[in-house]
Structure 1
Amino acid sequence: MENKVYFIGAGPGDPELITVKGRRILSQADVVIYAGSLVSKAQMEFCGENTAIYNSASMTLQEVIDTIKNYYMEDKKIVRLHTGDPSIYGAIKEQMDELEKLEIPYEVVPGVSSFTAAAASIKREFTLPKVSQTVILTRVEGRTPVPERENLENLARTGASMAIFLSVGMIDKVVEKLKRGYGHNVPVAVVQRASWNDEKFVIGTLEDIADKVKKQNITKTAQILVGNFIDCSYDKSLLYDKNFSHEYRKAKDENRNS
């Protein structure tokens, strides 16, 4: 393990959903700065006894960078542990930019995102033939604005499958925008703390999902999944169709004629 900073995706919650590479690097780290509000503390059990551990929930960007800089100058191995996959709403770009200014090397180790964990929880596939071959990851505007061209209503008009982050606390606003965009009563699932032991989810439609979310007291750390993929008829994939040929398999008719 080199003397550099490793940005690692810890996965959505279940401590076993970190990658093998991520776990290996974490176990060898001298310093871990982890997103304590979201990353399972069980991940810290894989750190060494003498590992210095910092919870970034109470730190500013400058405090995080200063901590990294000080330990890097001491030739320490540093892990910046983020929830899910750090490339999605991970705020790592601003950290990487600061490290480049300081000429501190870094590497990003991807992780399992909460949107894929949420789909696994409800046992659904985002990309079904003749239904949707596109997945949109987005959020509604809160304290962080969203470009007008990415307004939820506009995105919903595509009819694509959708995973909405950081928005369940504004579920009424989400539903209102989705209704105007999709133009019909599409299925919706809301999954809170996907892959955690206390995970829970509700499935409904745009007509009733807000009430279901409120009755279950789902107010944060939840994914909103939207689209016909949740409940629909679909065509089977050609990948395993006996009459479809590809590089690794001939169709049944071709086998008979060869």
Structure 2
Amino acid sequence: MSHRPQSATERSVCFVGAGPGAADLITVRGRDCVSRADAILYAGSLVAPEVLSWARADCELADSKGMDLEQLRDWLLQRALQGLQVVRLQPGDPSLYGALPEIAQPLDEAGITVRIIPGVTSAMAAAAAAGESLTLPESTQTVIFTRVEGLTPVPASEQLSELAKHGTTLCIYLSATLLDKISSALQTAGWSKTAPVVVVHKASWPGEERILRTDLAHLAEACREAQIQSQAMVIAGPTLGARQRTERAQSRLYDPSFSHAFRQATNG
């Protein structure tokens, strides 16, 4: 296998967000980083195999799905210390619901440069798939990315029942097996049983994406019937279905009475 060692000052590991699923939703910068890599450690259970098609023929590829934390860190560190161009390829965005701090720490301690290339996260891909906006003028200007407490605890102030009291858009990650908890938490926060919910399974994955529309009362039942048990984004909030409403506030950005740097307001 032919590799091109770097000088000591160039030793680095690049964490690349592969995006939500579809290979062509990786960023151009991420794709280019993959194409230059000597060694790539990828999350095989969540990263589409097609993303690896940009890797060189002589690039060392390894799947991390069977590794524990120490094995994963050692794999990256050993190759970076050899001066290879190393990539950690992971789903979505590396900075969200990953293990970036604990993986990067020994690299920092060894003087390895850590670079991060952002990726499209599944909340955005799910909203796009469902044709929904996550914000709406005079309805909500806030989006909360969160997850239901499971194996990983959350602070008391971040319990879903507390966050839901804001009434904003909720994008709920990693909770496909905890749908009853979602329904209960939102209703505890005062949401109606009939509040709409969109569930997108494997957003953007070619041939595998599924979109399910239901309400809080039937959320768990509907997903069980559809056999959605993993890789699902749950979106709830006041913006859902806005495209079908005739009465809603309009954005002021395009209001003829609103001036900005590129347009002078007109008076009726």
* Range class of TM-score, shorter chain: over 0.9
Structure-2 residue corresponding to 1:250: 264
Q: CA deviation at 1:26?
A: 0.3
- Which of 29, 36, 46 is the aligned partner of 2:37? 29
Describe how 1:3-22 pairs up with structure 2 within 5 A: 3-22=11-30
Structure-2 residue corresponding to 1:103: 111
Q: CA deviation at 1:236?
A: 1.3
Describe how 1:63-142 pairs up with structure 2 within 5 A: 63-142=71-150
Q: Distance in 1 between matches of 2:116 and 2:33?
A: 11
Provide the secondary structure at the position in 1 that maps to 2:16. Answer: strand
Aligned amino acid, residue 28 of structure 2 = V
Provide the secondary structure at the position in 2 that maps to 1:249. Answer: coil
- Structure 1, 46-55 or 208-217: larger mean CA deviation: 208-217
Q: Distance in 1 between matches of 2:21 and 2:233?
A: 13
Aligned amino acid, residue 35 of structure 2 = S
Conserved in 1, the CA contact under 8 Å of 2:20 and 2:91? yes
Q: CA deviation at 1:73?
A: 2.2
Describe how 1:170-181 pairs up with structure 2 within 5 A: 170-181=178-189
Structure-1 residue corresponding to 2:169: 161
Q: Distance in 1 between matches of 2:11 and 2:107?
A: 13
Describe how 1:37-56 pairs up with structure 2 within 5 A: 37-56=45-64
The one-character-per-residue Cα deviations of 1:118-174 (angstroms, maximum 9, x if unpaired) are 000101111100111000011111111111111100110100100000101111111
Aligned amino acid, residue 237 of structure 1 = S
- Which of 174, 193, 199 is the aligned partner of 2:202? 193
Structure-1 residue corresponding to 2:253: 239
Aligned amino acid, residue 57 of structure 2 = E
Q: Report how many residues are paired.
A: 254
Q: CA deviation at 1:251?
A: 1.2
Q: CA deviation at 1:105?
A: 0.7
- Which of 217, 221, 231 is the aligned partner of 1:221? 231
Q: Distance in 1 between matches of 2:213 and 2:266?
A: 40
Per the normalisation by structure 2, the TM-score is 0.91
Aligned amino acid, residue 240 of structure 1 = Y
Q: Which runs of 5+ in 2 are unaligned?
A: 1-5
Identity of aligned residues (%): 38
The one-character-per-residue Cα deviations of 1:224-247 (angstroms, maximum 9, x if unpaired) are 000111124431111111221111
**Aligned pair 1:57/2:62, yes or no?**
no
Structure-1 residue corresponding to 2:212: 202
